[in-house]
């Protein structure tokens, strides 16, 4: 991990930092240890989740979904260093037109049996050139079950 980090967000499972990565802004997502979990469970769990999220972020690009590029994966420190997307969250610019675009993204994920797990307006960024990026696949998983796909959509509806 780099030393010149600016904390952007602290979540339940991870912390997001703005860092300088070889002269460019980047995001460092670090999965944090949970004191209530035994380390024999916590370490493999954080390792597996870090690898899984990096894989999903890369795989969905094959379906035409914009996600940040992964620059580096540091398994030892449970860290993903990825592209910094300059823009605002959909939460800041919510409109019915954006819902159509988000529906297309979610539909593409679901047609490929990927459940995002946390579809909220905060997990989509509109870049400065008006491209929508899906982010935060930390709770994502593969499923063919209609119930899982429906639960994904239900969360967005409730938001």
Mean pLDDT of 120-137: 93
* pTM summary value: 0.89
Domains of the chain, residue spans:
1-84, 86-159
- Over the stretch 29-66, which tens digit does the pLDDT of each residue have? 999 999 999 999 999 999 999 999 999 999 999 999 99
Helix (H, G, I), strand (E, B) or coil at 157: helix
Q: How far apart are CA 129 and CA 85, in angstroms?
A: 11
What is the domain class of 1-84 according to CATH? alpha beta
**What is the model's pLDDT at position 3?**
63
Check: CATH 1.10.510.10 for 86-159? Answer: yes
Region of residue 131 (phi > 0: left; psi between -120 and 50: alpha; otherwise: beta): beta
Q: Which residues are catalytic?
A: 118
Has residue 98 got a pLDDT over 90? no
Beta strands 132-134 and 6-10, pairing class: unpaired
Mean pLDDT of 123-150: 95
């Amino acid at each position: 991990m780099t030393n010149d980090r600016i904390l952007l967000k602290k979540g339940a499972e991870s912390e997001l930092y703005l860092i300088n990565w070889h002269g460019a802004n980047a995001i460092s997502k670090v999965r944090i240890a949970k004191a209530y979990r035994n380390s024999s469970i916590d370490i493999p769990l954080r390792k597996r989740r870090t690898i899984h999220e990096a894989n999903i972020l890369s795989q969905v690009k094959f379906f035409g979904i914009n996600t940040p590029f992964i620059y580096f994966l540091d398994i030892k420190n449970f860290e993903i260093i990825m592209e910094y997307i300059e823009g605002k969250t959909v939460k800041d610019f919510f409109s019915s037109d954006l819902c159509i675009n988000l529906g297309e993204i979610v539909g593409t994920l679901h047609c490929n049996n990927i459940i995002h797990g946390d579809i909220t307006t905060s997990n989509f960024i509109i870049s400065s050139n008006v491209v929508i990026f899906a982010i935060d696949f930390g709770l994502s998983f593969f499923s063919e079950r209609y119930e899982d796909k429906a639960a994904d959509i239900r969360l967005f509806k409730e938001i």
